Amino acid sequence: MESKLYEAAVEGNVRLLLELLRKDKLLLAGIMTGNHTKTPLHFAAMLGHLDFVEEQKDTLASLLRVNPEACLIHDKYKRNPLHVTAMKGHVDILECLVQVRPDAARSVVERCRDLFFSALSHGRLRRVMAC
C-alpha cells in the first residue's frame, strides 16, 4: 500500500490518496516515523501538486506533532520541506511547517541559499514574505 501512496503523490492523485487513507488511517504516520528520506508529501510538493498537498494539510499538522524533525529532512541539494514549499509558493503549508520548526526556515541550501533566496529565485518571495 505504501508504494501506491508514493504513486498517488507523484501523480497528484487526490482520489487515490483518500482511498488509501480510508483503508489505512495510519498509513502516513508509518511513513513519517520510518526511515524514509522523502515522504509522499515531499514528492507532491516538489512536483507542484497543490490539491494533493492541500488534502494532506490537516494530516500534515497531526503528523508533525508526532515527528517535528520531518521538517529537517533534506534532499541532495539540502532543501528541506520549507524550502520546497517556499519555492512552490504554498504559503499555507509553509506557515504550518514554520510553526512546528521555525529553525528549519534558517537552514541553508546548496550554494549558501536560504529559504528567502529559494522563494525569490522561483518568483515566490512576495507570497512568502506575506507569511
- Whether residue 3 is predicted with pLDDT greater than 60 in this model: the reply is yes
We report the CATH number of the domain holding residue 56 as: 1.25.40.20
Average pLDDT over residues 106-121: 59
Distance of CA 122 to the CA centre of its chain: 17
Residue 48 structural domain: 2-130
pLDDT in tens, 93-111: 888 888 888 888 777 665 5
Average pLDDT over residues 34-53: 76
At residue 4, the pLDDT reads 92
Q: In angstroms, rounded to a whole number, what is the distance separating the alpha carbons of residues 72 and 70?
A: 5
Task: Give the SS3 label for residue 106.
Answer: helix
Helices 91-100 and 81-88 pack at an angle, to 10 degrees, of 160
Q: In angstroms, rounded to a whole number, what is the distance separating the alpha carbons of residues 92 and 4?
A: 26
- Whether residue 117 is predicted with pLDDT greater than 60 in this model: the reply is no
- Whether residue 5 is predicted with pLDDT greater than 80 in this model: the reply is yes
In the chain, how many domains are there?
Answer: 1
At residue 121, the pLDDT reads 57
